[in-house]
Structure 1
Amino acid sequence: MTTLTEADALDGLRDALGLLKDREQVAERLLASSAKHSFDPDKELDWDAPFEEGKWFWPPELVSLYDTPMWRRMSEEQRILLSQHEAAALASLGIWFELILMQLLVRHIYDKAATSAHVRYALTEIEDECRHSKMFARVISRGGTPWYPVGRAHQNLGRLFKTISTTPGSFTATLLGEEVLDWMQRLTFPDERVQPLIRGVTRIHVVEEARHVRYAREELRRQMVTAPKWSQEFTRVTSGEFARVFS
């Protein structure tokens, strides 16, 4: 894929949102933000602090059974325990998704100029995702819950997707996954009913994922404008299926 410059945008390359932004300028801004606002979860979070009695592991309104007849029959202790297991399940899903995302990013930059800011930011994002996956794994272990892997069918679907996905399809899938989790986590980290460790994990993830979403949005716009028709159609079909699976 040809790298586009601001001159290309000024020559009329646009989508429904307007002129495309310069790829290198976007990456430079994201690199500067990463330098100021990146976190080491092993040092930032208090992993040894005991869980606080009576606090949730996920906002109750986001728990699957919330306000159902079964929920109303459950004790408060059972509800909190369910929130803990569902938080672990979401963390497990996050690890699976981020492993796919890292491989998609590597594929994206494989044949691009390694000295470009665009590639350097992609490598920075991969660093972020490595830390996030380790953080999610550690919070599962800290809570003493099982790891909840996705089913075999979804494992195989993910393996296929990360192998054959088009570049615009990769960034569409990134946004589908990141935006859903981001919405839930933005409700979680300021919620004082939730365990401090969980709030800390979600705060770190929200701050760093905001950059990933920006990178994916800008690149998806560029890819969909420049991709051939077959790639655009293939992206629409596969992205719809990915959204169905992820939901």
Structure 2
Amino acid sequence: MTSSNDYGFRPATTPSGASVQRRRHIGDRQTTARRLLFAGAAEAAYDPDLDIDWDAAPGPTKNWLPPERISLYGSRLWERLSPEQRRELGKHELVSMLSVGIYAQSMLSMLMFRDVIESRDPVDDHTRFTLASIHDESRNSTMYSRLINATGLPPYRLPAPLRALTKLTLWIPDGPAVLGFRLLIEEMAAQLLRDLTADPDVQPHLRQLALLHAASSARHIEAARAELLRAIDSRGPIRAALHRWVLSAVVAVAYAALVHPAVYRSVGIHPLAGAASAVTSGAYRRNARAATATVREFLRETHRPPGISGVCSITNRRAVR
């Protein structure tokens, strides 16, 4: 069985470096929320506006993304690029990823606000943790936008079809598909940012952002996993199958949506040529599989509902083949 370690990505860890526990048994909802609220209390003092020196000039020779994380890495087009062009492409791809991250986290916040409104008890620990999570998502989006400003580039808007889909966010049925989407977003962001905290060759702004992001991601991932298992166990086989296919489709396109084809214009490459070269490169396939590997492994280990992880794996392989 292929794991995320095979692609150079490390398993999820807590801010202290301990591994995130994949619980076989689902704990009490309120107890879990209360514990995670206390765990996050010490991080409340983190302020991305103050803890990152946004006025500092970016390092002219520092990477905005590690070369191996850039979509064209190892392709023929990559070999034609100068070191300066590779850094420029990495900067544009980072801005594209951060822009998608802002959209995705805004969608998550909308769905979590819906949970608060529909909650039977708006003053319990679970609701308070949901509100705290919305605050964390807003803080992360603030960091993303600040970093985009630091690059000096404008953000990349989602392609029109995806923008249209975002307007239907609140129409998404509650249940495993929504919770799986949340887990996918949290896991992908954690995987993409985790190793950057110790990379001396990337921009210091990005390293500090990755460090602050890690402070909340472990809590969000644990909560999302627990909620997903509860939601799956509470559905019948037919409803679970419908959510399974929706989640499979999201997993299939998630990584592909991170890099806007227009980024290739920054180094004189036509968007279609750049996108075609990227999706056929070995590095792109490795990164795409690694970015979603922890979600697929988690679903495979739980076997809830049967077959969901297999469908996700097959669909994702087709998307990055």
TM-score by structure 2 length?
0.69
1:223 aligned partner: 231
Gaps of 5+ in 1: 1-15
Pick closer, same or farther for the CA change 1:17–1:187 going to 2, 3 Å: closer
Q: Does structure 2 conserve the Cα–Cα contact (< 8 Å) formed by 1:109 and 1:119?
A: yes
Taking the aligned partners of 1:53 and 1:126, their CA distance within structure 2 comes to: 35
Cα deviation code 1:112-164 (max 9, x no counterpart) = 21111100000000001111112111111121112111111111223324422
| Aligned with 2:64 (options 40, 44, 57) | 57
Divergent runs of 4+, >6 A: none
Written as runs of structure 1 = structure 2, the 5 A alignment for 1:80-119 is 80-112=87-119, 113-119=121-127
Whether contact under 8 Å (2:110, 2:169) holds in the other structure is no
- 3-state SS of 2:59 partner: coil
Residues 179, 224 of structure 2: 8 Å contact kept: yes
Counterpart of 1:41 in structure 2 is: 48
- Alpha-carbon distance in 2 for matches of 1:107, 1:227: 20
Bigger shift: residues 230-239 or 207-216: 230-239
Q: Is the 8 A contact 2:179 2:228 kept in 1?
A: yes
Identity %: 32
Write the distance in 1 (CA, Å) between the matches of 2:230 and 2:133: 19
1:237 aligns with 2:245: yes
Deviation track 1:192-222 (CA, whole Å, cap 9, x = no partner) reads 1000001111111122111111111111111
Task: Give the Cα separation in 2 of the matches to 1:164 and 1:211.
Answer: 24
**Structure 2 vs 1, CA of residues 244 and 158 (structure 1 numbering), >3 Å: closer, same or farther?**
farther
Aligned residues: 232
* Structure 1 match to 2:32: 26
- The match for 2:174 among 166, 175, 198 is 166
SS at match of 2:63: coil
With over 3 angstroms needed to count, the CA separation of the structure-2 counterparts of 1:195 and 1:43, relative to structure 1, is same
Does the 8 Å CA contact 1:169/1:239 hold for their aligned counterparts? yes
Amino acid at match of 2:136: D
- What are the equivalent positions in structure 2 for 1:137-148 lying under 5 Å apart? 137-148=145-156
Residue of structure 2 equivalent to 1:176: 184
- Structure 1 CA distance for aligned equivalents of residues 135 and 149 of structure 2: 21
Structure 2, unaligned runs of 5 or more: 1-21, 256-321
TM-score with structure 1 length normalisation?
0.89
Amino acid corresponding to residue 39 of structure 2 in structure 1: S
Q: CA RMSD in A?
A: 1.6
